[in-house]
Amino acid sequence: MSEIVFDFARQDRIGIAEAVFCAGKSVAQIAAILDLARTNARAVLLTRLEPAVLQALPGDHRDAIDYCAVSRTGFFGAPHRLQSRGEVAIVAAGTSDVPVAREAERTLRFAGIESGFIADVGVAGLWRLTSRLEEIRAYPIVIAVAGMDAALASVLGGLVAGTLICVPTSVGYGAAEGGRTALNAMLASCAPGLAVCNIDNGYGAACAALRTLSTARRLHGTPSAPRPQAEAGGGNDSISERPTR
């Protein structure tokens, strides 16, 4: 279909493979992209893939997708083999923020990064956060996912030292304004240096984490990360497990 020009070069260019954002695309368009991926022997990540759309895909495409209903993500082809653990923590304020947090987790996993996952630690019960603070601080990169007032982001911003990527969610109603309040609160945080993503954009937060991992490798001489491959997922024999400190 001439309407599609997949950016297969993106992985080499910026270290992040193009993903397929399925919302707003027709089933025919998604199928055409998957045909293209198969022809090029590429694995692709699908985001915002509704169950109904998954069901409407051609059977062979559908069968080739490892689907997660919570995050509405699919792996078409094998994700990258596991490459590291302990580098990125995903911290979600409430139970309702979990789908967005899982989207970030799955995006990282597709790229070979296994992240820590800590949920329901919103500041209305501060002990829930403080009881796990040392665990969170052990990660050099933290993704904070929160809706409503997003106070979790500011509290974390004053307590953790490394990269803090913030994802506002559309959780809440009325004055939460579909996530706009959480977004603005993160942007206007009293804590310095927060990196903010779009509302509900777990995928983008994971990509920002990948960029930071890429920066770290470039700054300190680690060889560049391997790319996801369609032909092989695989064992985690060679992953770099970062000791917490």
- Applying the rule CB under 8 A, the residues between 121 and 180 that interact with a second copy are 121-128, 140-141, 148-151, 153-155, 157-165, 168, 170-180
Segment interacting with a second copy, rule: CB under 8 A, options 36-44, 49-57, 73-81, 204-212: 204-212
Residues 6+ apart with CB under 8 A from 173: none
Position among 29, 83, 229, 236 found at the interface with a second copy (CB under 8 A):
29
Place of tokens 């779009």: 198
Q: Which is nearer to a second copy, 41 or 188 (CB)?
A: 188
- Residues in region 85-124 near a second copy by CB under 8 A: 87, 92-96, 98, 117, 119-124
Q: Torsions phi, psi of 53, nearest 5?
A: -70, -40
CB of 116 to a second copy, least distance (A): 12
CB of 8 to a second copy, least distance (A): 9
CB of 58 to a second copy, least distance (A): 18
Position among 50, 51, 241, 242 found at the interface with a second copy (CB under 8 A):
242
CB of 65 to a second copy, least distance (A): 18
Alpha-carbon distance of 218 to 222, in angstroms, equals 7
Alpha-carbon distance of 218 to 1, in angstroms, equals 38
218 near a second copy, rule: CB under 8 A: yes
Rg (CA), the chain: 18
Position among 27, 68, 191, 230 found at the interface with a second copy (CB under 8 A):
191
Q: Where are the beta strands (DSSP E) in the chain?
A: 20-21, 44-47, 65-68, 73-76, 84-92, 113-119, 141-146, 163-168, 195-196, 240-241
Kind and range of the H or E run holding 180? helix 180-187
DSSP class of residue 230?
Answer: S
Q: Which is nearer to a second copy, 64 or 197 (CB)?
A: 197
